[in-house]
Structure 1
């Protein structure tokens, strides 16, 4: 038997003002995207903004559906649009913010498992990490230098 230890490194900022300027600007766009989310069932709105290597910013928000599996998360809405419209572009940075109409979200809310898998696919495709910032409505902001910190045992094409 061999033991394997897996470690993840996240950076926690006390609030939005502590972030680098370019991350604050991207998070502001994620806030704006969150405002347009369609979340009539969960009342939980998520906004995402991606910075591409061309300087283009792509935003997305969650889109719910009464047939729950048919909806789509903000992160995947943005990342799939970027992949469809800018297939050769690399995603440099991603900002995510989530908020509930029922309670105030004050802790960092990371991407769900399906979104982590989709982001991992794009990191592998572009052979470069994606810097990810995530937060609730207010409060602390978490930063990961790569999706690998959030999904260390990635399922990828090498196993197919």
Structure 2
């Protein structure tokens, strides 16, 4: 038996086309990029997480000379959110990057580990997380759930 998977996403030519209420998240993710610790890759990633109560949490990549001991921006933000506000659901995460590992018009996409953490966060809170990926030149991809970019997550139904 063959089956087919379909993903759904929205593409915007510029993040400023997002609802104005989400502009602050993009700005906070940009702020987070500036504080990233990336002395080895020189590729800085920032994330901003919006909680259901309106709290915004920033995270950025933290590299370590003892690779792979560093951590991605998405996990820094989500782990902090889940540790500090365990009863508060995550509504949205914005991720963007600064560096030459990807073209300026391409969005940085969460790595497999980050996708799995987002999947478990969705399962934990029993609600989807809106994922907004913004390229260096402003192009934007929007996913309504991690299910659209991670199929068959480990241990999560």
**CA distance in 2 between partners of 1:26 and 1:45 (Å):** 17
Distance 1:103 1:151 in 2: 20
Structure 2 residue 89 is matched with structure 1 residue 90: yes
Q: Sort the Cα spacing of 1:102 and 1:148 in 2 relative to 1 into closer, same or farther, 3 A.
A: closer
Counterpart-to-counterpart distance in 1, 2:17 and 2:56: 21
User: What is the Cα-based RMSD across aligned positions, in Å?
Assistant: 1.4
Within 5 Å, which residues of 2 pair with 1:106-121?
A: 106-121=105-120
Pick which of 131-140 and 67-76 moved more.
131-140
Q: TM-score scaled by structure 2?
A: 0.95
Aligned to 2:121: 122
For residues 53-103 of structure 1, what are the alpha-carbon distances to aligned partners after superposition, in whole Å with 9 as ceiling and x for unaligned?
Answer: 111001100000011110000000000000110001100011011110677
- TM-score, normalised relative to structure 1: 0.93
In the TM superposition, residue 109 of structure 1 has moved relative to its aligned partner by: 1.4
Q: C-alpha displacement at 1:104, in angstroms?
A: 5.7
CA contact (8 A) 2:25 2:94 kept: yes
Deviations 1:119-150 (A, max 9, x none): 10000000100000002222310000000001
**Residue 153 of structure 1: CA displacement?**
1.3
CA distance in 1, matches of 2:139, 2:47: 17
What are the ranges of 5 or more consecutive residues in structure 2 without an aligned counterpart?
Answer: none
Number of residue equivalences:
157
> Which 4+ runs in 1 deviate beyond 3 A?
101-104
Cα deviation, residue 25, structure 1: 1.3
Unaligned segments of structure 1, at least 5 residues: none
Kindly report which structure 2 residues correspond to 1:7-156, keeping only aligned pairs within 5 A, or say none: 7-100=6-99, 105-156=104-155
CA–CA separation in structure 1 for the residues paired with 2:79 and 2:92: 15
User: For residues 8 and 71 of structure 2, what CA distance do their matches in structure 1 show?
Assistant: 28
